[in-house]
Amino acid sequence: MPDLAIIIPSVLNGLTTGALYALVALGLTLIYGVLHIINFAHGALLMVGLYAVYFLNVQLGIDPYVALFIVPPLMFALGYALQRGIIGKASHGRDENILLVTLGLSIVIENLSLFVFKSDTRAIDTPYSFEVVEFLGAFLPLPKVIAFAGALVTAALLWLLMSRTDLGKAIRALAKEPKGAKLVGINAEHVFAMSFGLGIACLGVAACLLLPSYYVSPQVGHGFVLIAFTIVVLGGMGSFVGALIGGLIIGVVEALGGLFLGESLGQIGIFLIFILVLISRPTGLLGHKV
Amino acid sequence: MLEVKGLRSGYGSVEVLRGIDLDIQAGEIVALLGSNGVGKTTFASVVSGLIKAWSGTIRFKDEEIRGLSEQAIVDRGLIHVPEGRHIFPNLSVRENLELGAYRRGKANRTRNLDHVFGVFPRLRERFAQKAGTLSGGEQQMLAIGRGMMAEPQLLILDEPSIGLSPLLVEEMFELIEQLNRDGLTILLVEQNVLQSMEIASRAFVMENGEIRLSGQASVLIDDPELQRSYLGLA
């Protein structure tokens, strides 16, 4: 039995990873909660964001944290255009079509990037990549601490947007009551595209926070999106708080699993928790009955 | 204020409205009556832009609005409070009302909110509560209140009395009359013939997608055909 001196750093590390998972999952749950789209292109779009951060850094020397002001707005625009121009148009309002469209998008995006960027993994070099922060006796990489804080701030901003602004209210209204929403004059197509854009913008933020301590390759999204789907189901489909808590839980479970079972078996813990939650609470931790 | 001529519409290839003529003057309560399934709700939905018209004209304040989007129609001040309320159950009472003013500037919002709370004091008590937890009568009040937030010039109320207890129905009709006295023009779509006739100035009776009878409510109420078909009087 390892003692606390090992467990605490492991838990803290898990929390920092979990916050980033949560950020990816927040975008996914926002898109699912409003559009009822299970966005298979989520991982591919995260990869697009990571490449954007990478090339801004390598070509133009822009720091990933400065890119926070560039990449998320670009990703928002991309998401808005994808929903309004492709997903919404091609799906004719049928859920099974949407599924296929987003799956198709992910295949196209991934193979395009394989073609253009090859399957090399690339990382960036920043002056702070290997700096550490000491906290509760644990040494945490500085980029991961910043990512943790950034993910929480983003989640808080998203919550404010959803609860305080007209757009947020319109998004929530449209998710539950499309007819009522139309009757108060909410433009459904526009608000759908705004929601999709916001979900994808979350990926832009995640990409900026992730790259200083991670890498990018055409397949980089896979690992994230599988975990993000798990988090969304675990936390309750469409629940923001659920996604945040679910992300943190998964991060910690993964870290502790790695500690006790070894790196290669560490992820088993995630799916054990997942199965246990689904058996006891089929709608997820904070989900509502459908 | 509203002038509809020869309006035809339906679902798929099934014709529901077979040429409706109807007009509403400013300041009136006009009742659109008829039993279940004759096309009253379809009519209201076509006027508010939810369902496409096949042919005919819909003029609102001397402007053709047929074919405009729901948003454009809301912008012009024609507000439809639908059958079954369609309030936002996951939002608070306050948020529901605020969204009623989605197409309006924020400047008048507080004043309009006060106005709605003046008419429906019960909603003020429920302010922060989720709309889905309200009683049926309160939900109907919220649906009407949400419509009022959009600063309507013509309010279409579709079956506001449905699912309410007789006492509440009475209260609802009094409130509608009150709104009208305050200057609001109302199209009241109802199955409740007798009570609607009491507050309406004119009435149209629909049957099978057509207007069967129309005229002054006070005259129409003595019509033998209406009495036989809708009031169960010989």
Q: pLDDT of A52-67, one tens digit each?
A: 999 999 999 999 999 9
Cβ contacts (< 8 Å) between B144 and chain A: which residues?
none
Q: Does A289 touch chain B (CB under 8 A)?
A: no
Give B172-184 pLDDT, tens digit per residue. Answer: 999 999 999 989 9
B207 domain residue, yes or no: yes
Taking CB atoms and an 8 Å limit, are A185 and B103 in contact across chains? yes
ipTM beyond 0.85? Answer: yes
A chain contacts of residue B69, beta-carbon cutoff 8 Å = 187
Closest approach of chain B CAs to the CA of A188, in angstroms?
10
Q: Which domain holds residue A218?
A: 4-280
Q: Over the stretch B196-232, which tens digit does the pLDDT of each residue have?
A: 999 999 999 998 899 998 989 888 888 888 888 777 6
What's the pLDDT score for residue A290? 42
In a domain, B131, yes or no: yes
B146 domain-assigned: no
Q: Which of B88, B133, B142 is most worth mutating to test chain A (most A CB atoms within 10 A of its CB)? A: B88
Degrees, nearest 5: CA angle A43-A171-A45: 15
The pLDDT of A77-97, averaged and rounded, is 86
Domain termination site, one of B119, B140, B161: B140
Q: Which run of H or of E encompasses A203?
A: helix A188-210
User: Is A173 among the domain residues?
Assistant: yes
Quick one: pLDDT at residue A266?
Answer: 76
Half-sphere exposure of B114 (CA within 13 A, CB side): 3
Question: Which one, of A34, A69, A10, A45, lies nearest residue A193 by Cα?
Answer: A34
Q: What's the pTM?
A: 0.88
Same-domain pairing of B64 and B37 = yes
**Residues 132-171 of chain A whose Cβ lies under 8 A from any Cβ of chain B:** 166, 169-170
pLDDT at position A1? 58
Please state, in angstroms and as integers, the Cα–Cα distance from residue B146 to each residue in A8, A84, B101, B202, following that order: 52, 29, 8, 26
Q: Per-residue pLDDT averaged across A30-52, rounded?
A: 90
A–B CB contacts, 8 A cutoff, strictly below: 64
B210 and B180 together in one domain: yes
Assign residue B165 the CATH number of its domain: 3.40.50.300
Buried (b) or exposed (e) across B34-67, using 16+ Cβ within 10 A? beeebbbbbbbbbbbbbbebeebebebeeeebbe
Pairwise CB contact (< 8 Å): A183 & B82: yes
**Does residue A287 sit within a domain?**
no
* C-alpha distance from A287 to closest chain B C-alpha (Å): 13
Residue B234: pLDDT band (50, 70, 90) is: low
> What's the pLDDT score for residue A136?
80
Are B91 and B131 in contact by the 8 Å Cβ rule? The answer is yes
Is A176 part of the contact surface with chain B (CB cutoff 8 Å)?
Answer: yes
Q: For chain A, what is the domain count? A: 1
Instruction: Let me know if residue B13 belongs to a domain.
Output: yes
pLDDT tens figures, A178-224: 999 999 999 999 999 999 999 999 999 999 999 998 899 999 998 89
Average pLDDT over chain A, rounded to whole?
Answer: 89
Would you say residue A138 lies in a domain? yes
Domain-embedded: residue B148: no
Closest residue of chain B to A186, computed from CA coordinates: B71
For the domain that residue A261 is a member of, what is the CATH number?
Answer: 1.10.3470
> Given A176, A183, A186, which is nearest B90 (Cβ)?
A176
**Residue B147, domain member (yes or no):** no
CA distance A135 to A124: 26
Residue A289 lies in a domain: no
CA distance readout (Å), B51 to A257, B85, B155, B234: 56, 17, 18, 38
Mean pLDDT (whole number) for B87-112: 91
Residues A25-53, mean pLDDT to the nearest whole number: 91
Instruction: Give me the pLDDT at residue A38, please.
Output: 84
B117 and B55 in a common domain: no
Range of the domain at B107: 87-140
Looking at the structure, do residues B122 and B166 belong to the same domain, yes or no? no
Rounded average pLDDT over A38-62: 94
- Give me the helix-helix angle, A4-35 and A188-210, nearest 10°: 160
Q: Which residues of B touch A173 (CB under 8 A)?
A: 88, 91, 95, 99
How far is residue B17's CA from residue A163's CA, in Å, rounded to a whole number?
Answer: 41
Distance from CA of A205 to the nearest CA of B (A): 28
Split into its structural domains, chain B has a count of 2
Q: Cβ contact (<8 Å) for A182 and B50?
A: yes
pLDDT at B98: 93
Q: Quote the CA–CA distance of A142 and A134 in Å, as a whole number.
A: 9
**Res. B95: pLDDT tops 70:** yes
A51 C-beta neighbours (distance < 10 Å), count? 21
Q: What percentage of chain A reaches a pLDDT higher than 70?
A: 98
